[in-house]
Structure 1
């Protein structure tokens, strides 16, 4: 298997799950600043020109959430639940995240980390304020859900936890008000106990990313 990645948000969850599972994967770094994601050979793998992408034999798979579910299934790991009801719950939380928490946490990540990295200037205060407001709204929903639960689905860690929490390692550097939500903070602290979560990206000869 080959996992094409950059040291940005969506690939982070794919790399974290792959390392957590200990799967034999060749990691292929895609340099976004050089536009490698737009080259024909990469577009043949992922026509969206995005990362991550996974190649497993004749199978090309893109979208980070699909990739982490596939990896967990391929490893026969409990990160992909056995019961149909819990599988639906995984889909529910991934869908919720993409439309809500990740969307607005990602805006803050862009304003504070990506913009300076690509030379787009300082964070826009109005966009920051808007994103922080939505972050608080949706983090509040998550905080309530986590009361009395160790993980999103209850007692068992799943791919949903890796997906929904993916922006939180950048909370401090991207001005996400995570400290206002003790259950979310507690939940993320549990993920931080895993080396694969703290350091998901493979080492490269020249570490040039300031946003990882």
Structure 2
């Protein structure tokens, strides 16, 4: 049976949504990144990058949320657009846009907005402004695209919408409470995907386990190891 290494973060939620939508049988394997589970040898065997999510599909290891979505979609034949060169090009282009743009810039925007050391003072302004700007830029591109398209790839609900939903549903945490007022087309698609029965099931998977909630000094040392390296 497929093993799904996960926690409640945005990237694992993309894969959780696919699994819940598709009905594929799977086994949950929790990875608590605030206690260091991601550095255990048994997990690094599946994902040498030490990040969630990852899957073990009967000995076939796949990591990176977007790679997993594409792998599972192609394996099952589900949540892909009609097989035309145009659709394939759009699917790959928007999936990579999310993989290399929306996700990373949102993640860095969250870090500098919520978790970077406050004692940096004015030195924090530049990276904070940089990543807020880039996250907004990506949201604007998505919003403009969705003004003329029901889903990310035409009129078909696909893995690209799942990848989009993983981060975009957390827009207020990334960019502030007014984000969905600014980007109403993004909100429309977030709301539609969130209303699908599989979405709340995907989000609730984390509640089956106890993950560390506190971002204390121990968790910071584990998750932001560059701080420890700098101090040494």
Tell me the TM-score normalized by structure 1: 0.85
Distance 1:161 1:122 in 2: 38
The residue correspondences of 1:27-176 to structure 2 (distance < 5 A) are 27-77=28-78, 79-85=79-85, 86-112=87-113, 115=115, 120=117, 124-176=124-176
Q: Is 1:19 aligned with 2:20?
A: yes
Q: How many residues align?
A: 206
Q: Contact (CA 8 Å) 1:101, 1:138: kept in 2 or not?
A: yes
**In 2, Cα distance between the equivalents of 1:45 and 1:56?**
10
The structural deviation recorded for 1:30 is: 0.7
Sort the Cα spacing of 1:122 and 1:70 in 2 relative to 1 into closer, same or farther, 3 A.
Answer: farther
**Aligned-partner SS, 1:154:** coil
Q: 1:150 to 1:27 in 2, by over 3 A?
A: same
**1:155, distance to aligned residue in structure 2 (A):** 0.8
Partners of 2:169 and 2:214 lie apart in 1 by: 14
CA deviation digits over 1:60-109, x for unaligned, max 9? 111111111222233331x1234142222111012112332222222233
Q: Specify every segment of 5 or more residues in structure 2 that has no aligned partner in the other structure, as ranges.
A: 216-232
Alignment match, 2:182: 180
CA deviation digits over 1:144-192, x for unaligned, max 9? Answer: 2112311011111000111123212222233343320111111211111
- The answer to whether the 8 A contact 2:4-2:53 is kept is yes
- As a proportion of its length, which structure holds more helix? 2
Q: Structure 1 residues 99 and 62 mapped into 2: Cα distance closer, same or farther (>3 Å)?
A: closer
Shift, 1:8, TM fit: 1.5
* 3-state SS, counterpart of residue 99 of structure 1: helix
Aligned to 1:192: 194
The TM-score, its normalising length taken from structure 2, stands at 0.78
CA 1:169–1:198 in structure 2 vs 1: closer, same or farther (change >3 Å)?
Answer: farther
Please tell me the root mean square deviation across aligned C-alpha atoms, in Å.
Answer: 2.4
- Contact 2:136/2:175 (CA < 8 Å) preserved in 1? no
Tell me: CA distance 1:103–1:206, structure 2 relative to 1, closer, same or farther (3 Å).
Answer: closer
Decide which structure has the larger Cα Rg and report it: 2
Q: CA 1:106 to 1:178, structure 2 compared with 1: closer, same or farther past 3 Å? A: farther
C-alpha distance in 1 between matches for 2:76 and 2:168: 26
Distance 1:62 1:130, change over 3 A: same
